[in-house]
Structure 1
Amino acid sequence: MDLQNRQKLHIAMFPWLAYGHIMPFFQVAMFLAEKGHHVSYISTPKNIDRLPQIPTNLSSRLSYIQLPLPQLDGLPEGAESTAELPIHKVPYLKKAHDLLQLPLTNFLQDSRVNWIIHDFISHWLPPVAAQLGVNSVFFSIYSAATLCFTGPPSDVIAGRRQKPEDFTVVPEWIDFQSNLAFKPYETLINQDGMDDSVSDYLRAAFVLQDCRVVILRSCAEFEPDALRLLGKMLQKPVLPVGLLAPSLQDSAAGEHWPVLKDWLDSKENNSVVYAAFGTEMTLSQELLHELAYGLEKSGLPFIWIIKNRPLVEGESGLDHLLPPGFQDRVSGTGLVWTDWAPQLRILAHPSIGGFLTHSGWSSVIEALGLGRPLILLPGSSDTGLVARLMHSRRLGLEVERNEQDGSFTRDSVADCIRRVVVDQEGEPLRANARAVRDIFGSTHLSYKHLDEFTRFIENYTASTKSL
């Protein structure tokens, strides 16, 4: 079906209120608009404000729709994303997000939408869409392996896996070699972020059961076995849309990039550890100090991004976050950066030798798209599963931790950093990270998969209209 004869669809996008979800949804929205379809990207006002300006050539086909987030007791005033909340407040954000059901339904009724692409949080959405004659697509921004771990929807809905210890073993339905399981401390952290009335697993199960199509931020070139199992398990179309690596050419540099670049330029190639932990990870002050001492003890130059949202809950300011005298001791060797940082540009710099990361799927994709090996220190959500996957694929090493409480030592941090970045035993890891660059960093591969998905919904719409 060529561009001239292609039926123009109206496609709505409705992501969960987390930056790691919002941007992949935006990438898909841009692609669909470029293919000639009208796309309504729906979110709350503050999250819409964080999105890039719509390119002039797409302004007639891509529009932002703002739905004000309802306020409710327990949710801090003005908070509209997970990045603005400690993990124990995230359940209130989920409850507020559920209250968008009515305004979203009204929009779908009034706007002649053909398809809605949505997230796992909106467990109520596929039945609503079906009643309105709108086809629903669940877009999983997680790896295929992570989605396999969720399990058959019928089993989850029947309550066959509920106790925390049920999630600390590789599920019996995974029919390929896998080490996917949470550590005990991770199950407790994840429980803190779930809505007691509807767990994240139950939300995902209802969505997987009721949606018409599943798409994933994955590709058969990296996860053939997991994608095969998902198709078998769900008995509905399961389509990868590629890894959606961001383009370095399109990444914002920011006003401080010259300072960061000068510092990086002064270091030897493949020698610097880049440490960054996303927008949601929190650590106790004790563990944050162990992390700092570990970076120092590694003896390697490092650039450490500490966001305005403190890693230590309830504390702010470097005097609280860092050990006494730390910055003086590492001056010249380590750079602690508290402002926004252009992560993709930093990772692309030739001086970077490894990435100490919270193991978020987006960050992992960015790093491997540039051939950087991983030092894995997972936080909440799916990051423990991502860390296991990357460790098993020999693309990085996970920092050794106490499996019951999640604690780690400066020695375990320093040892893991050195093994990944400079020790001889880490050379296979570094070689593997360079080897997968053609998969993780390929925009051509993502475009190919996105094009296949676009043709699927076009042909599906055409075939159902002809019945």
Structure 2
Amino acid sequence: METIKESHNQKKLLHIAMFPWLAYGHLMPFLQLSKFLAQKGHRISFVSTPKNLHRLPTSSSLSPLIKLIELPMPVVDGLPESAESTSDVPINKVPYLKKAYDKLELPLTRCLEDLEVNWIVIDFASHWLPRVATRLGINSVYFTIFNATTMAFVGPPSEILGGERQQPEDFTVVPKWIDFPNFDVAYKLHEMVTHWECMEEEVSDFQRIAAGIQGCDFVATRTCPEFDADSLSLLNKLYGKPVVPLGLLPPVLTDPDGADESEGDKWRSLREWLDNKKEKSVVYIALGTEVTLSREAMHELARGIEKSGLCFIWVLGNRQFSEGPDMIPVWFETRVGDRGLVWRGWAPQLRVLAHSSIGGFLTHCGWSSVIEALEFGRVLILFSGASSDQGLIARLMHNKQVGLEIPRDDRDGSFSSVAVAESIRRVMVDKEGEPLRANAWAMKEVFGNLDLNNKCLDEFNQFLVTWPASTS
């Protein structure tokens, strides 16, 4: 009988709306989830603003079951006219982006009334959406793109809303509800001070998270039990409702040796350079699309990279090199010669990380970037971008011994070129870094295991099709 019931549930098809936060790092996991659910036969309405939808990589042709729905970006005083995502604004302008996102409540409500969806997948910022969903008789799932350890550190809604942590300093210690042995994951002060800048005064990020968790039917998190078992178990207790691991959503290279049209010329140039380097000899350096270091910090990082003496590819995103040509020392590229390649603008990161010449990744610790690196077993040199959950990820990966965090001053985030060089060499070539390299390589069995990740997604799908329908 159970088999017949499961078979019946698998055939139950749903209409699911997606409403991610206005950031590429949120849009992509929501799109990956949409593609999986469409493969199960569900209809997906993916809702965002025009510029964000146009950013999505749809060249591989989305399933006809996925419909992209545009909502015009609201006008907010203080927000640049063409800004629609975090990549369009400096961190101190992000609060205005949150105000604009909140103004989407009415148009989204009207949209949902017309769509007649069964479920809506909500993100952290839309604190008002669970209330709207309940009124319209729509089930809601809170999808956090963070891992379970990050969410456990943030804590239960009661602590988020009325707990003792009210200032940046309060987040620099392990919270009392986490009692795992040898757990040493907390923010550095400079990271929380930076994050405070991007919070909207009227509704803080913590209030947004709490409202989403409290108002949804269940929570889904971008992790898997094989990596995050203790934190997943704790979250179920903290929230008092189901917490479902979605898997790590590792991106897939359909043709590892090729490239699509958008990647073509860029990848050919990079691959030609990498093909001439020894296996696992190159450090890939990329600080994400939104991290902005001061000129002084960029120069210190450059000096450290040079002092390491190792081969590298350093990707400077548009935001980093748009600050001016002197963001890296004028002598840098001449002095490093052929052992280093400075790449300006977008790079096909997944293809670079998959190349056999790449041994390690100096990363800003964005969760998507870490997943991509460990999917191919690349050891990590951890340099927190000091935004969102990146500091927590740096500590977590350091503690899991799949990488090494570059030492920095807790209060201002400063660091030395010597520390950078020593960290790179230890991780990449020194004997004492062998355990780190071995552990990172072994992580391929979790982060690159599509069967394991698809199992999590299948279980998530079962939650959707078996959950009782909401009533308005």
- Residue 279 (str. 1) matches residue 289 (str. 2): yes
Q: How does 1:130-209 map to 2 (within 5 A)?
A: 130-177=134-181, 178-209=183-214
Q: For this pair of structures, how many residues does the alignment match? A: 459
Q: What runs of 5+ residues in structure 2 fail to find an aligned partner?
A: 1-5
Once the 2 structures are TM-superposed, how far is the Cα of residue 5 of structure 1 from its aligned partner? 6.7
Report what 2:329 is aligned to: 323
Match of 1:422 among 419, 429, 445: 429
Aligned-partner Cα distance in 1 for 2:448–2:122: 25
- Residue 390 (str. 1) matches residue 397 (str. 2): yes
Report what 2:88 is aligned to: 84
Q: What SS does the aligned partner of 2:356 have?
A: coil
Residue type of the partner of 1:286? E
Aligned-partner Cα distance in 1 for 2:361–2:201: 35
- Residue 293 (str. 1) matches residue 303 (str. 2): yes
- Residue 239 (str. 1) matches residue 244 (str. 2): yes
Aligned-partner Cα distance in 2 for 1:429–1:201: 34
Aligned-partner Cα distance in 2 for 1:4–1:123: 31
Residue type of the partner of 1:236? K
- Check whether the contact 1:254–1:342 (CA below 8 A) recurs between aligned residues: no
Residue type of the partner of 1:333? R
Once the 2 structures are TM-superposed, how far is the Cα of residue 175 of structure 1 from its aligned partner? 2.6
Aligned-partner Cα distance in 2 for 1:303–1:143: 28
Deviations 1:400-443 (A, max 9, x none): 00111000111111110001000000000000001111100112
Once the 2 structures are TM-superposed, how far is the Cα of residue 110 of structure 1 from its aligned partner? 1.4
- Residue 74 (str. 1) matches residue 74 (str. 2): no
Identity %, equivalent residues:
56
- Residue 441 (str. 1) matches residue 445 (str. 2): no
- Check whether the contact 1:54–1:62 (CA below 8 A) recurs between aligned residues: no
Report what 1:9 is aligned to: 14
- Residue 371 (str. 1) matches residue 367 (str. 2): no
Q: What runs of 5+ residues in structure 1 fail to find an aligned partner?
A: none
Report what 1:222 is aligned to: 227
Aligned-partner Cα distance in 1 for 2:375–2:285: 17
Q: How does 1:308-319 map to 2 (within 5 A)?
A: 308-310=318-320, 316-318=323-325
- Check whether the contact 2:188–2:391 (CA below 8 A) recurs between aligned residues: yes
Deviates more, 1:248-257 or 1:371-380: 248-257
- Residue 116 (str. 1) matches residue 116 (str. 2): no
Aligned-partner Cα distance in 1 for 2:29–2:418: 36
Once the 2 structures are TM-superposed, how far is the Cα of residue 77 of structure 1 from its aligned partner? 1.3
Deviations 1:37-60 (A, max 9, x none): 11000111111011132766821x
Once the 2 structures are TM-superposed, how far is the Cα of residue 254 of structure 1 from its aligned partner? 3.3
Once the 2 structures are TM-superposed, how far is the Cα of residue 196 of structure 1 from its aligned partner? 1.3
CA RMSD after TM alignment: 1.6
Report what 1:249 is aligned to: 254
- Check whether the contact 1:157–1:206 (CA below 8 A) recurs between aligned residues: no
Aligned-partner Cα distance in 2 for 1:4–1:160: 44
- Check whether the contact 1:355–1:373 (CA below 8 A) recurs between aligned residues: yes
Once the 2 structures are TM-superposed, how far is the Cα of residue 216 of structure 1 from its aligned partner? 0.6
Report what 1:406 is aligned to: 413
TM-score (norm 1): 0.95
- CA change 1:5–1:307 in 2 (3 A) is closer
Q: What SS does the aligned partner of 1:239 have?
A: strand
Aligned-partner Cα distance in 1 for 2:450–2:83: 34
- Check whether the contact 1:170–1:181 (CA below 8 A) recurs between aligned residues: yes
Residue type of the partner of 1:255? D
Q: What SS does the aligned partner of 2:338 have?
A: coil
TM-score (norm 2): 0.94
Residue type of the partner of 1:113? V
